[in-house]
Amino acid sequence: MQIRRSRLLFLAVLLGSAACWYFGGVAELEVKLTGLATQPHVNTAFQDPITGQSDALMTLICFALLAPMAVLAAFIIVLCMVRGVEAVVVSLRGPGWFSLPLVGTSLVAALYASSQLWLPTSLYGLGIVARAYFVYSYGPLFLVHH
């Protein structure tokens, strides 16, 4: 069964609307981004008055290009893991569908157990991207008053 482009577009609009509703709209999303952009370790990024905005733009472009590639690579790796576990499960005379929940549960448990390793770096990266958004949008002297 093939999925038509109109169905994919409908799915994308539906997912975008759900994300917008979940985050409380654009205004609420900007408040959450402000929290990321004002973290102490990213507060001094992009403050050069001459190159600050161009550096921020380069960061946003790199994020926009590399993030979908990383998501696709992670999806392919997970898909290969599911297929590999499915081959083992089927050879042990188990149901093939059991490989997806097994791999999913294992990945969630592994991510939770190793969150101290990857979470600070991920928050730093998201903070830099949020800071780049505000510096590029509002100028290099972006200040937030609480």
Task: Give the pLDDT confidence of 3-46 residue by residue, as tens digits.
Answer: 577 777 787 788 877 777 777 666 777 788 888 888 888 888 88
pLDDT in tens, 84-122: 999 999 999 988 888 999 999 999 999 999 999 999 999
Round to whole Å and give the CA distance between 37 and 132.
8
d(CA 130, CA 119): 16
Domain boundaries, the chain: 38-138
CB 38 within 8 A of CB 135: no
